[in-house]
Chains A and B, each alone.
Chain A
């Protein structure tokens, strides 16, 4: 059965200026390597399309089985000037849960 990230991860997202940050937390230690394989710069860029105009960096936190997705120029100008309803990107993180889980077995 093909799974999506929503089955194995939790998220919390927010803003710093026009940068959106998404913390992705593994539900179990076994899920962490799957998250690392499934959340890549390329997949994140494909997912968000023209809502993310800048660099995407993915930081790994092995000690707490989480990754941080850092997306620059991603909030339509930042909280105070964006036209989006979600001015601070609080809902943006949930979109990452749509990514398919890489099927390779660990």
Chain B
């Protein structure tokens, strides 16, 4: 039995580069390659793709990625775990089976993990008395939105992944399993841990490891405040976790790759997108980040120890996506001299045009690009110097596509009505809004299933 498991992070989101995952497979001596593809918006996009075509709904890039990765993984004896199944893991599994057959990977076992998709079960949940309160706003009026639901997925724990691995899967493809479980699953499987009090600290540590590396290069120099000190970010190495049976672990990256792994880059990601650091709640358990010790070992190696865990939460997060109108937006750039004055005049003209077009909007936001687009009211009030250039951005939320299109039309009308020297890029089309309703449901209401496909 192994005392150290090596897990590589192969993807941080749908859109991430695939070459670093290849490099980790070639150089990393990995036991597992773990790949996250999903986000709230991604689930809604995939659900829409599935509505148009029942065979779609998984990450479109998945098959191309696996064409590259599967032969490498077989060579290095690495098992791949990914949530690229999106809202249709079964179809993804079937396509992967066909691909593996084409590649001649005889004997390859692909496991499909399902059970997170609740879109067909919303009525059943409501009838069973699940209140589905909005966990952010406390609102309880979900009933009115039922007709507009496009997706509903539970962030599930690692039990399906563990079962798949126990059944001998070489590739595990899941739906909305939590990003974190992609790492916790194989660690628990390798060391034979179960979700009980005796393993709470160890699982807490596995959760912490998953949190640090699940956004791939975000802990090896990506998104860094010290960006100027990060070498060759275009060739960045994705992180690797060396997880020990005693619950300590080292974060590192393959040799001769760009970026850095040091105490600072790991801290940068430890504090990312968390609430109470003493209670980091994941479906497999609760981790306490405030007890850990971080040791920079040099040579792109950071050791973490001392994580405490607090057991398994009783509820799981269910994110329901529903249709919520449209957004129209536009942007115009203005040149020196008197760039700011031109932008202010254009804002006035647009406001008049919206009125003349009878725009019905729930909300309209104007910002000056180059001045206050990113920090809004936190922007420091300074005298505006004679800027080289400035942009005006407008966005509005509307009930219908035709209303949202009035934003595009009004911005286009500025081509001639607007101040001299105005420059326009390609106008953007209105986009539909899928709002999310996050809620909690009972752990027991969710059952995962595993289907094994053999090549």
Contact = CB atoms under 8 A, between A and B. Distances in A.
A94 B364 CA distance: 25
A25 B435 CA distance: 32
Given A14-B273, A21-B274, A68-B274, A49 B433 contact: no
Contact of A92 (B40, B329, B374, B393): B374
B327 to A, nearest CB: 7
Contacts of A25: 225, 264, 267-268, 271
B299 interface: no
Given A21-B273, A49-B377, A64-B294, A10 B136 contact: no
A63 interface: yes
A83 B268 contact: no
B120 interface: no
B276 interface: yes
Contacts of A12: 223, 225, 268-269, 271-272
Interface string A12-23: 101111110101
Nearest to B39: A79
Given A68-B271, A86-B374, A63 B363 contact: no
Given A14-B272, A21-B272, A80-B44, A51 B267 contact: no
A91 to B, nearest CB: 4
Interface in A8-57: 10-12, 14-19, 21, 23-25, 47-51, 57
B154 to A, nearest CB: 16
A79 B40 contact: yes
Interface in A52-83: 57, 59, 61-64, 66, 68, 70, 72-73, 76-81, 83
Contacts of A90: 223
A74 to B, nearest CB: 10
Interface string B273-312: 1111110000000000111111000000000000000000
Looking at chain A, what size class is its interface with the partner chain?
Answer: 35 or more
Nearest to B276: A59
Interface residues of B, number: 53
A78 B324 CA distance: 12
Contacts of B397: 81, 83
B376 interface: yes
Nearest to A87: B41
Given A25-B267, A78-B435, A81-B433, A61 B378 contact: no
Given A21-B275, A59-B277, A10 B226 contact: yes
B365 A84 contact: yes
Contacts of A17: 40, 136, 436, 438
A10 B276 contact: no
A78 B293 CA distance: 33
Given A23-B268, A63-B290, A95-B378, A80 B275 contact: no
B434 A80 contact: yes
Nearest to B379: A95
B396 interface: yes
B436 A78 contact: yes
Q: Identify the interface centre among B44, B273, B395: most chain A CB within 10 Å of its CB.
A: B273
Contacts of B363: 83
Contacts of B274: 21, 23, 68
Contacts of B289: 61, 63-64
B62 interface: no
A98 interface: yes
B331 to A, nearest CB: 9
B373 to A, nearest CB: 5
Interface in B168-185: none
B145 to A, nearest CB: 13
Contacts of A81: 324, 327, 397, 433, 435
B412 to A, nearest CB: 19
B400 interface: no
Given A17-B136, A49-B377, A94-B374, 12 more contacts: A10-B268, A11-B225, A17-B438, A23-B268, A23-B270, A23-B271, A25-B225, A50-B377, A64-B292, A66-B270, A83-B363, A95-B374
Interface of A: 10-12, 14-19, 21, 23-25, 47-51, 57, 59, 61-64, 66, 68, 70, 72-73, 76-81, 83-86, 90-92, 94-95, 98
Ranked nearest first, the 5 interchain pairs of A and B with the lowest CB-CB distance are: A23-B271, A49-B377, A10-B225, A95-B378, A83-B395
